[in-house]
Structure 1
């Protein structure tokens, strides 16, 4: 059985074909757009009828049925396969097991049957690491120990990919992505909730305590990293995990304050005491992205302010008009009673259609 060699790979070569599972999800749509801009023939797959982004064509039905043969057929002519599908915070634990673990296992088994194997770029999650100490910078050699169903099922998917690379000669790389933000962020994410209140001119928003620190990276930078991973020499990336993030830990209250400031609209944030379920086990998150710089030639380019401004414009929140000198800024974050079991702490919040 033969495999394609690294020089043949990537969207830059003539006739390059890219299959994107979860191609209409938050990350998947931008991945499709980035490959299309690079000249690739992009084929998105999705479980919803939502369109992909520019130049990607309509999404085809997503192959979540337990049929490795169907997966092999749809990947047979691809040069690159990107798995951006998955169930996130909106899914049940069983949905997470199916989408984040079982699908990945079927996909790697399907690729192993192909005589000419595409490169697989698997989108993992920084939540695979589990809790880390405040102030820590987490590199790829950090032992993963997630305590949530999402983190555990994503880690199981990562391990399936690494196992296939080691035992079945699959050319595959895992990008362990931090919290993505930017245009198209889901409405049930923290930025989505804040933007909805700003767009509708509501004066007050009650949230769980904004205590967490998150490594926030623009979704378009993530898509650029996927393209870079598709193009990288096999010897540098096959069978590896690569962190993709900003390399900075941002307090989520800063994210909220920045959105309010960019809008120029008054919004009082009240951190309430009511108990809610915790979605994350990671109060602190900051990734070491040195490996991405070294092996992919990639670094984040967009600032958090640019990312949020573009997101808010896409969400229908007009930017603030320039204020005369000396005019006070609108009221922003105003802490109320604080507690530690918060929900709205900067999670991506995507549903089960993809990341």
Structure 2
């Protein structure tokens, strides 16, 4: 799970959550950990809800629950017991898994959550984290708008879109106070190894060790680096979540809001820059995916609505995200080595 991310409260203040209880589904995951750190810095009383909730936690700070298997009645009971002001859903699965599993985790669970929250004695606000992949691939030179077409590619993207539609429908028909943040391609310290840039970061750390001990120059096989993606720092995403959690109801209720950097960055450029930052000897070998999967080639978000509705903008550039990702990968490697 790694160490909790550090969050600098001097960078931005969200005093409106001081003393308020917030439930965070998926709070032990990559994005969820950063969201929890930012919430605690704002003075919120955070309760993580996760199948991987710490065994030593208390009912006041962690709840072991798998959102994918929780019933609607169990979710109602959870909200009744903790009476949160806000519920944040950062749970989900992006890497691996059968289509049926991706559907259960990323869509069906969200449908139950969106139905359960309005039934609570004091219904909380729901901030659900969607995905840029709901849009699919864009036309080169253009940016995705929240009310534009959605053409998801693959089971994960289709499930995320279904979840977004479920939240918006629950706002319309059940009185849910809910909003969806469509998140770009998230990068930064602690990015999972299954992700592209997470894979590169950990491979570079291991390559540096091999070069010191044996002089070996390893090779890393990746799918062709042809895409251009909207990368956004995980800490910027956490700040957007905080802004959505405290925004006036009229600004965000029933809205989908893009959260990205607003630029399409060549993936090859990001990978090559990380290699340069690491100073490690590593050769990239590009090879087509054996699964024949076709990933979106161009993705860029229009983030104007986030500025207007949330007074939010990304403040960390890709250079900082990559540097901090590498540094966290080095620390992770050092912890594993020390434990062996």
Shorter-chain TM range is 0.7 to 0.9
Q: Give the aligned partner of residue 133 of structure 2.
A: 127
Q: Give the aligned partner of residue 184 of structure 2.
A: 178
Alpha-carbon distance between aligned partners in 2 of 1:297 and 1:23, rounded to the nearest angstrom: 24
User: What's the CA shift string for 1:321-355, capped at 9, x where partnerless?
Assistant: xxxxxxxxxxxxxxxxxxxxxxxxxxxxxxxxxxx
Q: Give the aligned partner of residue 291 of structure 1.
A: 305
CA shift for structure 1 position 91: 2.1
Please, which of 20, 23, 34 is the counterpart of residue 24 of structure 2? 20
Is the 1:195–1:317 Cα contact (8 Å) retained in structure 2? no
Is the 1:81–1:121 Cα contact (8 Å) retained in structure 2? yes
Structure 1 length normalisation: TM-score? 0.81
Is the 2:205–2:280 Cα contact (8 Å) retained in structure 1? no
CA shift for structure 1 position 13: 4.5
1:236 lines up with 2:251 in the alignment: yes
CA shift for structure 1 position 49: 4.9
CA shift for structure 1 position 200: 1.6
Aligned pair in 2 of structure 1 residues 213, 104: CA closer, same or farther (>3 Å)? same
Equivalent position SS for 2:330? coil
Q: Give the aligned partner of residue 85 of structure 2.
A: 79
CA shift for structure 1 position 301: 0.5
Please, which of 248, 270, 276 is the counterpart of residue 261 of structure 1? 276
Task: Select the structure with the greater relative contact order (CA < 8 A; seq sep ≥ 6).
Answer: 1
CA shift for structure 1 position 230: 0.4
Please, which of 303, 321, 325 is the counterpart of residue 307 of structure 1? 321
Alpha-carbon distance between aligned partners in 1 of 2:121 and 2:52, rounded to the nearest angstrom: 31
User: What's the CA shift string for 1:56-90, capped at 9, x where partnerless?
Assistant: 94553334334212101222301000011112132
CA shift for structure 1 position 242: 0.0
Alpha-carbon distance between aligned partners in 2 of 1:62 and 1:255, rounded to the nearest angstrom: 34
Alpha-carbon distance between aligned partners in 2 of 1:317 and 1:66, rounded to the nearest angstrom: 35
Q: Give the aligned partner of residue 10 of structure 2.
A: none
Aligned pair in 2 of structure 1 residues 179, 275: CA closer, same or farther (>3 Å)? closer
Farther-moved stretch of structure 1 (200-209 vs 32-41): 200-209
Bigger fraction of residues in helix = 2
Q: Give the aligned partner of residue 204 of structure 1.
A: 219
Please, which of 172, 175, 181 is the counterpart of residue 169 of structure 1? 175
CA shift for structure 1 position 279: 4.8
1:99 lines up with 2:99 in the alignment: no
Aligned pair in 2 of structure 1 residues 58, 316: CA closer, same or farther (>3 Å)? farther
Is the 1:102–1:157 Cα contact (8 Å) retained in structure 2? yes
What is the alpha-carbon root mean square deviation over aligned residues? 2.1
CA shift for structure 1 position 137: 0.9
Aligned residue pairs total 305
Farther-moved stretch of structure 1 (126-135 vs 153-162): 126-135
CA shift for structure 1 position 135: 1.6
Q: Is there any run of 5+ residues in structure 1 with no aligned partner, and where?
A: 1-9, 319-355
Alpha-carbon distance between aligned partners in 1 of 2:32 and 2:92, rounded to the nearest angstrom: 10
User: What's the CA shift string for 1:70-116, capped at 9, x where partnerless?
Assistant: 10122230100001111213221111111111111111111121131
Aligned pair in 2 of structure 1 residues 278, 212: CA closer, same or farther (>3 Å)? farther
